[in-house]
Amino acid sequence: MPGFEFGGSEEEAMVPAPRVLVTGATGLLGRAVCTEFQNSGWLVIGTGYRRARPRLLRCDLTDEDAVKRLLHEYKPDVIVHCAAERRPDVVERHTEAAVNLNVHATSMLAKEAAGCRAFFLYISTDYVFDGRNPPYGEDDSPNPLNVYGRSKLEGERETLRHCPGAVVLRVPVLFGEVESVSESAVTSLWLKVQETTESCTLDHCQQRFPTDSRDVATVCRKLAERARQDPSIRGIFHFSAKEQMTKYEMAIAIAQAFNLPSNHLIPVSTYQYMNKYMELYICLYKYLQYIQFNFICVAPSHNRSYLRTLFKWSRSRPNSL
């Protein structure tokens, strides 16, 4: 099967590059993770399913035999499990399929990772918390409010049950190099900003920490590298950017950056606006000091860098403005 098989110099060939298997490599975070590891000299094997493309492997992660064949053939040193059904409304409508991917496939991957002694890194979410008493630390008790959050929490538990040496990395709402603005809950606000003919209510109560997927990818690589040297690197970790904004504030920033009117955007500052699909206020920022992990060296997710993502996206689609 073809994958991200990148050659190096003759000298580099003397020392085999470490191998990383990235599930969900077609998604926003998965693409960033593949690029980060590749740029750091790893041999990257990226998998996808419905959106699989050239240089990626097509693999149904709910097919146990297919997963076993994949791991047997490529023998990864590290598995970064990004694949998930992350849209809460879709999880509510198609619960069985979502649970198969978010829970059962995760459980199977964790078992196989333990069996082949690969370091397993499971990407989780702030939705495992209810948002009532932020900020949350890694030792705080989860209390998910919707099916998506419950499925990811169960995925965490299956990961650590079957692969005790694994890491669970919880992250908040992400943005990055999108293929469409709807791919991120941050950049999707563009659709509301540009629709100036109708008023639009936006939450101005819940503080979010929009985080660049490239930063998360760097954290994944650094955790993998440290964990391969130090088996005590295991358990649950949190990471997010520092800048906090409400959805309304993000939308206003987008409108100002593109010189678009914003009087159709209406802030809602009452908790009555929240429902079971609410995006929770979770501060996940942590320095991971005990593993000497300094995020100063990570590409900074600040100064509203999601605006740069939108600028780049709009330049590639001149008719979008």
**Ordered DSSP codes for 65-85:** HHHHHHHHHH--SEEEE----
Return the pLDDT at 296. 39
* Cα separation, 103 vs 90, whole angstroms: 15
Return the pLDDT at 242. 79
Q: Does the pLDDT at position 7 exceed 60?
A: no
Residue 262 forms part of a structural domain: no
Residue 30 forms part of a structural domain: yes
Q: How many domains does the chain have?
A: 1
pTM: 0.84
Residue 83 forms part of a structural domain: yes
Question: Cα 201 to chain center, whole Å?
Answer: 27
Return the pLDDT at 96. 97
Stronger pLDDT, 189 or 7, i.e. the higher one: 189
* Cα separation, 57 vs 278, whole angstroms: 34
Residue 16 forms part of a structural domain: yes
Stronger pLDDT, 304 or 26, i.e. the higher one: 26
Return the pLDDT at 304. 53
Residue 309 forms part of a structural domain: no
Residue 272 forms part of a structural domain: no
**Got the DSSP string for 92-153?**
HHSHHHHHIIIIIIHHHHHHHHHHHT-EEEEEEEGGGS-SSS-S--TTSPP---SHHHHHHH
Confidence grade of residue 54 (pLDDT, cut at 50, 70, 90):
confident
Question: Cα 31 to chain center, whole Å?
Answer: 10
Token duo for residue 259 = 């010189």
Stronger pLDDT, 274 or 196, i.e. the higher one: 196
Task: Give the residue numbers spanning the domain of 44.
Answer: 10-178+210-242+282-299
Q: Does the pLDDT at position 15 exceed 50?
A: yes
Q: Residue 34's domain is classified under what CATH number? A: 3.40.50.720
Return the pLDDT at 311. 58
Residue 22 forms part of a structural domain: yes
Confidence grade of residue 176 (pLDDT, cut at 50, 70, 90):
confident
Residue 3 forms part of a structural domain: no
- For the chain, percent of residues with pLDDT exceeding 70: 79
Strands of the sheet containing 119-125, edge to edge, are 57-58, 43-48, 19-23, 78-81, 119-125, 167-171, 235-238
Q: Does the pLDDT at position 306 exceed 70?
A: no
* Cα separation, 166 vs 156, whole angstroms: 10
